[in-house]
Amino acid sequence: MTEKMCNSYLTDLSFSTAIYGRLVTPMDLKILLYKGGAAENYRTVFNKIASGKLGKPLKERFELIHAIHEEMNASLIAGGSQQTVKSNFSFIRIFIGYIDQSNFELSIHSGMAAYREWADHLYARVLRKEITANTAYTIAAKVSNILSPICGNGQSLLVTTRLLPSLTHKNSSAPDKQDLNHISALCHLLMDITNGLGVESIYGPLPVEIVLSNGSVLHEWSKLRKADDVKSLSSHYKGGKWVTKSVIATRSSHENDRSLRTRYPLTNLRLEAELLIFISQTGMNLAEAHQIKIAQFSYKSSIDGYQVREYKNRRKGEVLFEIFSEYRNHFERYLNWRKKIFNNTSDLLFPFIRYFGRALDTPPSFDRIKNICKTIDVPYYGPQQLRKTRINWMLRKSRDPDLTAEQAAHTKEVLHRIYEEANHQVFKAEIIQFWKKTDPTLQQIGPAPGPGICDGIPTAIPRMPPEAPNPDCIHPGGCLFCQNHRDIDSQDYVWSTASMKHLTGAILSGYRPIEKGVPDTGNHIEMVLEILSAKLKWFESSNERRKKWVSEAQERCAENSFHPHWQYLIESLET
């Protein structure tokens, strides 16, 4: 290898398209060329390389490290997440750090053997219970994804190891209703934070008091320590008075400075809450959501809410995201708040203020929200769990995996493998539907024109009065005089029966006798009314639970809230 090629390898291992914060050290794979460089502190390793403490670069690694750089850089140029590239860099450093420690040769030709050696080391750590099987598998999988195209000979390096993911999963026997309750508590907290951090509150006196739905109050000091926690302000402080005086002056200056220089922690706290709410409503992933640009938004109604586009004169912009209709008013309030706080100084929809050099493309870690949740004992759910909950809710509501996968920007396979979670209500409904289709004894039962169920074979009851309506599976009144009709022991059935009674009574009240010589149908209406009243009376007298069903059904009918099966008939009759 020529000197020119060596210099090219040494200078060409950074990522020119990556975006870094002011104080962030850029990623550079050059440290992997030096023995021990992968395990060194990344902030000081370059000084050690420059001073010669790590020796000379290992030429046998040049080709392999250059190929790794090409794989990672290609992913970044193709639009991949910079956070993913950064995490992959960390995993590669773990791998090469072990190779350096074990004095194993590393080159493009020995890469497969080195990977297997490292995988055996991870497997041994799992057996010693130093790390979990899932942790070892995840780390090995990340490194395999990078090394396999380089030295895998057409196969994944991971499948050549003994590492397997753990077969134990989180207990799915507990109903997801509890998770929904916890997420609901978190969402209430997020709403309380956004409501409590208006423009006036942020620029007002400290501490800002945020009243929560449960009646408790959060006190936010915007990086200013609570006065009771400052030792020099205590009445028992025995230090010099000038110290106390200086601390008071500094605190007063901080509080009187009503600018973002001192109030950015409050602004970032609301942005954290708004971003989590936004993700829960849109289903957008965090990497995309926190980088979305502000625009003049236009709204177009969709099935469940609105499609939000960037407004463009005389033509429609592409759909940026979809929101539920209930979220639109909150979103508009947020945009108004954002405009007053930032005054068009940033083009990001969620312009987090970063005074300490953090890169703009680095997503927030939601540390403030996590601390608040811990303080008030509310379970915290991050963006991924909020997104997963929304996807599962949509899947259960639509029962359409293709539609849900399209809405979530995933393939159906990824939806089922990664996002779909067990839901016992769905399982119960599917099992019932399965047995209805396959069990011959259940297949005999079907819908009836009136309240209840039947087998669809109309058979009149013995000794039926001649004026009673004949059962014909067409007229609801006939069901009450059919041998195959069956009542249902449910509140819905009682409500349906009470609604039919109301309809029958309304028909009877508007009935006029027919001319002499023509059979009078008023009698069979009265008979239907009597049987319906008798059924409700039986339910009412049988036990307390059924009595409550009848009472609830009667109250609903009194409020003109009828069963959907009868609603349109009653409305058409009474209008």
Q: What is the pLDDT of residues 477-523, one digit of tens each?
A: 888 888 888 888 889 999 999 999 888 888 877 655 544 444 455 57
The whole-angstrom distance between residue 40's C-alpha and the CA centroid of its chain comes to 38
pLDDT score recorded for residue 157: 92
Model pLDDT, residue 189:
93
| Per-residue model confidence (pLDDT) at position 395 | 52
**8 A C-beta contact, residue 262 and residue 354:** no
- Percentage of the chain exceeding pLDDT 90: 31
From the number of C-beta atoms within 10 Å of its C-beta (0-12, 13-18, 19+), residue 99 rates as buried
Contact 108, 63 (CB under 8 A): yes
- What tokens does 518 get? 């023509």
> Cβ–Cβ contacts within 10 Å for residue 12, how many?
14
165 or 277: which leads in pLDDT: 277
Q: What is the pLDDT of residues 71-117, one digit of tens each?
A: 998 888 887 778 888 889 999 999 999 999 999 889 999 999 999 99
| Angle, in degrees to the nearest 10, between helices 62-77 and 3-11 | 40
Confidence of residue 417 (pLDDT cuts 50, 70, 90): very low
Q: Which helix (H) or strand (E) holds 538?
A: helix 522-542
Query: Dihedrals φ, ψ of 132, to 5°?
Result: -85, 160
Which residues, other chains included, contact 166 with Cβ-Cβ below 8 Å and sequence gap of 6+?
132, 133, 134, 137
More confident residue, 21 or 250: 250
| pLDDT tens profile 363-408 | 888 999 999 999 999 999 888 888 777 666 555 554 555 544 444 4
The helix/strand count (H/E) of the chain reads as 23, 7
Rounded average pLDDT over 319-334 = 85
Mean per-residue pLDDT over the chain, rounded: 79
Q: Which helix (H) or strand (E) holds 119?
A: helix 111-127
User: What digits encode the pLDDT tens for the residues 9-55?
Assistant: 556 788 887 777 666 788 899 999 999 999 999 889 999 999 999 99
pTM (whole model) above 0.85: no
**What pLDDT shows up at residue 206?**
85
Q: How many CB atoms lie within 10 A of CB 240?
A: 10
Q: What is the DSSP string of 133-192?
A: HHHHHHHHHHHHHHHHHHHSTTS-GGGGSS----S------S-THHHHHHHHHHHHHHHH
Q: pLDDT by residue (tens digit) across 260-289?
A: 888 999 999 999 999 999 998 888 888 888
pLDDT tier for residue 239 given thresholds of 50, 70 and 90: low
Q: Read off the DSSP letter of residue 226.
A: P
Please report, for the chain, the start and end positions of each structural domain, with discontinuous segments joined by +: 3-160, 179-290+327-339+350-384, 446-574
Distance CA 221, CA 245 (A): 20
For 198, the token pair is 């208006």
Give the pLDDT of residue 154: 79
Q: Which amino acid is at 197?
A: L
207 preceded by cis ω (within 30°)? yes
Average pLDDT of span 336-363: 82
Q: Look up residue 564 and give its amino acid.
A: P
Alpha-carbon span 226 to 245, nearest angstrom:
16
Cα–Cα distance between 14 and 139 in angstroms, integer?
A: 23
Q: Which of 203-212, 337-346, 466-475 is least confident?
A: 466-475
Taking alpha carbons only, the member of 348, 360, 335 closest to residue 199 is 335
CB-CB neighbours of 222 under 10 Å: 18
DSSP label of 112: H
Can you tell me the distance from the alpha carbon of 242 to that of 495, in angstroms, rounded to the nearest whole number?
78
| pLDDT value at residue 418 | 47
